Amino acid sequence: MPCYTVRMGQKPPAHTPEKEALLVALRGILPDHSVLCEGEQLRPYECDGLTAWRALPGVVCLPSNAEQVQQILRLCGQMHYPVVARGAGTGLSGGALPLENGVLLSLAKFTRILEIDADNRTARVECGVRNLAISEAVAPHGLYYAPDPSSQIACTIGGNVAENSGGVHCLKYGLTVHNVLGLKALTMDGELLEIGSKALDTPGYDLLALLHGSEGLLGVLLEVTVKLLPQPERAQLALAAFHDVTQAAQAVAAIIGAGIIPAGLEMMDNLALCAAEDYAHAGYPRDAAAILLCELDGSNEEVSELIMLVRDLLLANGAYEVHTARDDAERLKMWAGRKAAFPAVGRLAPDYYCMDGTIPRRHLSAVLTRIAELSRHYDLPVANVFHAGDGNLHPLILYDANQSDERTRAEEFGGEILQLCLDAGGTITGEHGVGVEKLNQMCAQFTPHELVQFHEIKHAFDPKDLLNPGKAVPTLHRCAEHGAMHVHHGKLPFPELERF
Amino acid sequence: MDADRSVELQAAVREAAACKTPLHIIAGDSKKFYGRAATGTPFPVAQHCGIVHYEPGELIITARAGTPLAEIEAALAAHGQMLPFEPPHFGPTATLGGTIACGLSGPRRPYAGAARDFVLGVKIINGQGEILKFGGEVMKNVAGFDVSRLMVGALGTLGLLLEISLKVLPKPQHELTLAFTCTPQEALAHITEWSGQPVPLSGACHDGARLVVRLSGSRSGVIAFQRKLRGEVVNDGEKFWQQLREHQHDFFKGDALLWRFSVPPATPLLNLPGQLFIDWGGAQRWLINPLPADVIRASAVKLGGHATLFRGGERIGQVFHPLPPALLALHKRLKTAFDPHAIFNPGRLYVEF
Ligand SMILES: Cc1cc2nc3c(=O)[nH]c(=O)nc-3n(C[C@H](O)[C@H](O)[C@H](O)COP(=O)(O)OP(=O)(O)OC[C@H]3O[C@@H](n4cnc5c(N)ncnc54)[C@H](O)[C@@H]3O)c2cc1C
């Protein structure tokens, strides 16, 4: 993904005596070529998928086994160097954004599939294994790994756990947290935690859930045991075209209301579907205001029965055309457009800003209408791609960072969309995480007491605050400055805490 | 009567925190038998009850923790919906809060998910008497750490649950129960084979004499697999699963020690004496057996799982599987992070905190 804008420092971080000592010690743990510290070597690590934010890391380490990671963490703990874990760097909230004074821990070499257990329907893999590689490896057993983020050819299972990623099939099969049975992780002090197993539950607190979506703040994941599902007998995809976005939203409600949980239920508006069509030639109708993609899977009989029901519901709710895939090849082609929606929209403007709010589904059309108004107000086009079935919106704001104030406008516009999601009873992030990007909005979603509770959890794992510090959970100080603190009856809550 | 008692509860928790008075949280008291023996001042919370928000079209329900589980299930049933994790009630007084705090799930668990899989948000009072909200009423939410799921199965040791939001699902259009007379070994082999194929299973157990499975889905889909699997149709299938869920099946009668093994589903038969009931498609095995706890636990570990003394016996030793040192230390730190004065249900989960 091209990088257009620059926010943070671009000069390679300075070499200090402490850093020299760190480098010497790191070279004692890793071979020389696995410790990177010179300008151009660092460049590939300066940003993740949120390219507007960049920083060159102090050092990049490329360990290849657990002992090395453990030693690096212990060393950094002793020397007080912060550590940022990185998978494939496709994250969209700056979670893997490096720290100039820190170590970037790339897990790119952890790519072994350790065990496939067909009888128990599990696979144990290293954290750097790509999401799609799991399904490919287990396909000969008639099994697959269900969560399928659009980035699945590149993103790693470690990154998926750290973000609790979703995908177009999560409506029926759940998010990453619903499909992982076990983890091996190292805490910042190098302590190995073995959480879960191939059994369905584990004694004590649900640390498995806690580590999902923890954005690399609680531990470095080394191994993941995932749950596998049998490939469905049949999958069928219906594409419905609408003249009106509101009707498409109503059709979504009608399908769920009829007691049908499709395997996937995705919506794209005109700008998004045209971009996807130009890019992937998926066969989308360019004249539609919105399209819905509704996939059903299961036994032959079940799919045949439900696809007729869904077809009727779509037509009854205003679809002017419903097309069902002729065969699997066409089905995959129709999905390819949706899965390529981000890069496709990316071709429409020099930059785009991807939002990720989630709202209760019933507010879908009101929120869409308001986003369209805001788009006119900020004079920036927006393409909408949604996981419509679960209310997760991805408005993509198009802008050009080289135009004087477009970037600021895009960020303000994005901020308003997230506020809109909160006002509708939703959340600022459904699957991309907070990272560095949504720290200010966290102050609006949570009270200071709640944020303090998050920090207390963080400190239970990492008392020195060295693992991915400054991400995911804002300091109260930042919230006070940002001015988004909840204020009740004109009084700042929590006056007893000294932080203002 | 529905009532929001959060203000009174908060005041009481603050007072307990100030005096460092341990509290024994009691709602329906239906799961008194579970976990380690309670200590502390009895702290009744069931009055904080009522469904706050049920939106069938969104597949979500939010209710106060004291709401009777039966009330929630009745409200859902009126709209053709259900709690997919089939929580056991273990008595008419069971509440939503107790259900989530215990984190128990019924026969549908391996196929639909566990209690923790359906929790979307919680409102709690932490050990400092602060009312906190995490998660919410939307299906996808990664803002902040997942405190909501952390509460599930914590037996009230991290905080007092005030409100819980759950994802619910439509009841399957059609369900059918089939029985096959066979040995437990044969049952495990069948389950393993069918679980690797797209068979619409929603329950699979062996009751000592028969493999009993439930199929769920569209009518045509269920009938198609009935033809493939054959087996004998169990006419009162719903009653069978209900009794299993509530431990009213004959196997569970009497008051002998009841062990729960949680193991990888395809694990071969345990080489232990005693009576065995296999549920969760092999992943949950009930064992009635008087062997010493350490022998039982060692065999569970060997099989890649863990064992809980579910019911009976002295509830003062380790009831849940002991944690390795690194995890135990982390549990203690997390406990302190939520409940620094150790007032909530001390010792109910583990003797150490
Ligand atoms: C085109 C495109 C489409 C996308 N589509 C989707 C989608 O459909 N659904 C979705 O949910 N997301 C999507 N994403 C976002 C992104 O792909 C996911 O968040 C993904 O899980 C990130 O994985 P990664 O390996 O790239 O992680 P990175 O970006 O490298 O890291 C993400 C976070 O995880 C942490 N981390 C990574 N590995 C580890 C580890 N081993 N231990 C501890 N912490 C670790 C990092 O510190 C960071 O905080 C998309 C991104 C792009 C660019």
Burial classification of residue A291, based on how many CB atoms lie within 10 Å of its CB (0-12 exposed, 13-18 middle, 19 or more buried): buried
Chain A from 208 to 227: CB within 8 A of any B CB? 209-210, 212-214, 218
> In the predicted model, is pLDDT for residue B352 greater than 70?
yes
Q: Hey, whose CA ends up nearest to atom 13 of ligand 1?
A: A149
**Residues forming beta bridges with residue A384, ordered by sequence position:** A395
* For chain A, percent of residues with pLDDT exceeding 90: 90
Q: What is the pLDDT of residue A487?
A: 44
CA distance B175 to chain A (A): 13
Domains of chain B and any CATH numbers? 6-170+330-338 (3.30.465.10), 174-245 (3.30.70), 256-311 (3.30.70)
Residue type for B335, please? K
Contact list, B14 vs chain A (CB under 8 Å)? none
Contact list, B351 vs chain A (CB under 8 Å)? none
Chain A: residue whose CA lies nearest to B300: A199
> In the predicted model, is pLDDT for residue A486 greater than 80?
no
Mean pLDDT over A24-31 rounds to: 98
Mean pLDDT over B327-353 rounds to: 98
Counting from 1 in the atom list of ligand 1, the atom nearest the Cα of A107 is 41
Q: What is the pLDDT of residue A11?
A: 60
Q: What is the pLDDT of residue B255?
A: 87
* A&B contacts, CB < 8 Å: 256
CB atoms within 10 A of CB A44: 11
Contact list, A202 vs chain B (CB under 8 Å)? 262, 306
Mean pLDDT over A183-197 rounds to: 98
Chain A: residue whose CA lies nearest to B193: A119
Q: B24 and B345 in contact (C-beta within 8 Å)?
A: yes
Q: What is the pLDDT of residue B225?
A: 95
Chain A: residue whose CA lies nearest to B130: A449
- Best mutation target, B85, B105, B128, B145, to test chain A (most A CBs within 10 A): B145
CA distance B347 to B353: 5
- CB atoms B140 and A117 under 8 Å: no
Cα of A127 from ligand 1 centre, angstroms? 12
CA distance A113 to chain B (A): 19
- CB atoms A456 and B152 under 8 Å: no
User: Does A94 sit in the ligand 1 pocket, CB within 6 Å?
Assistant: no
The interface pTM score, or ipTM, of the predicted complex is 0.97
> In the predicted model, is pLDDT for residue A1 greater than 90?
no
Q: What is the pLDDT of residue B268?
A: 96
pLDDT in tens, A318-336: 999 999 999 999 999 999 9
> In the predicted model, is pLDDT for residue A490 greater than 90?
no
> In the predicted model, is pLDDT for residue A393 greater than 50?
yes
CA distance A320 to chain B (A): 24
A309 contacts: CB under 8 Å, gap ≥ 6: A258, A260
Q: What is the pLDDT of residue A84?
A: 98
Mean pLDDT over B109-122 rounds to: 98
Contact list, B158 vs chain A (CB under 8 Å)? 205
- Best mutation target, B140, B278, B328, to test chain A (most A CBs within 10 A): B140
pLDDT in tens, B90-103: 999 999 999 999 99
User: Does A431 sit in the ligand 1 pocket, CB within 6 Å?
Assistant: yes
Mean pLDDT over A458-482 rounds to: 95
Task: Tell me the three-class secondary structure of B127-141, residue by residue.
Answer: CCCCEEEEECCCCCC
Q: What is the pLDDT of residue A482?
A: 78
CA angle A428, A429, A431 (to 5 degrees): 170
> In the predicted model, is pLDDT for residue A495 greater than 70?
no
Q: Residue B314: which pLDDT band, with cuts at 50, 70 and 90?
A: confident
CA distance A387 to A265: 6
> In the predicted model, is pLDDT for residue B346 greater than 60?
yes
Cα of A27 from ligand 1 centre, angstroms? 28
Q: What is the pLDDT of residue B207?
A: 95
Mean pLDDT over B105-126 rounds to: 98
Q: What is the pLDDT of residue A39?
A: 85
- CB atoms B334 and A302 under 8 Å: no
Q: Hey, whose CA ends up nearest to atom 35 of ligand 1?
A: A216
Q: Residue B270: which pLDDT band, with cuts at 50, 70 and 90?
A: confident
Chain A from 255 to 294: CB within 8 A of any B CB? 256-257, 259-261
Compute the mean pLDDT over every residue in chain B, rounded to the nearest whole number. 97
Chain B: residue whose CA lies nearest to A447: B132
User: Does A157 sit in the ligand 1 pocket, CB within 6 Å?
Assistant: no
Q: B61 and B54 in contact (C-beta within 8 Å)?
A: yes
Structure tokens at B307: 């064992």
Q: What is the pLDDT of residue A167?
A: 93
Q: B212 and B184 in contact (C-beta within 8 Å)?
A: no
CA distance B181 to chain A (A): 22
Structure tokens at A330: 């066409």
> In the predicted model, is pLDDT for residue A380 greater than 60?
yes
> In the predicted model, is pLDDT for residue A491 greater than 50?
no
Cα of A89 from ligand 1 centre, angstroms? 6
Rounded-to-10 torsion of CA A431, A437, A442, A443: -170
Q: What is the pLDDT of residue B165?
A: 98
- CB atoms A298 and B200 under 8 Å: yes
Counting from 1 in the atom list of ligand 1, the atom nearest the Cα of A128 is 41
pLDDT in tens, B209-228: 999 999 999 999 999 999 99
> In the predicted model, is pLDDT for residue A6 greater than 80?
no
Q: What is the pLDDT of residue B272?
A: 87
Cβ contacts of B241-244, under 8 Å, gap ≥ 24? B241/B86, B241/B106, B241/B107, B241/B177, B241/B203, B241/B214, B244/B106, B244/B107, B244/B205, B244/B207, B244/B279
Nearest to B140 among A233, A392, A454 (CB): A392
- CB atoms A200 and B126 under 8 Å: no
> In the predicted model, is pLDDT for residue B344 greater than 70?
yes
CA distance A13 to chain B (A): 31
- CB atoms B145 and A447 under 8 Å: no
CB atoms within 10 A of CB A237: 25
> In the predicted model, is pLDDT for residue A494 greater than 60?
no
Nearest to B138 among A256, A359, A456 (CB): A359
User: Does A77 sit in the ligand 1 pocket, CB within 6 Å?
Assistant: no
Cα of A431 from ligand 1 centre, angstroms? 9
Q: What is the pLDDT of residue B98?
A: 98
Specify the pairing of strand A220-227 against strand A122-126.
Answer: antiparallel
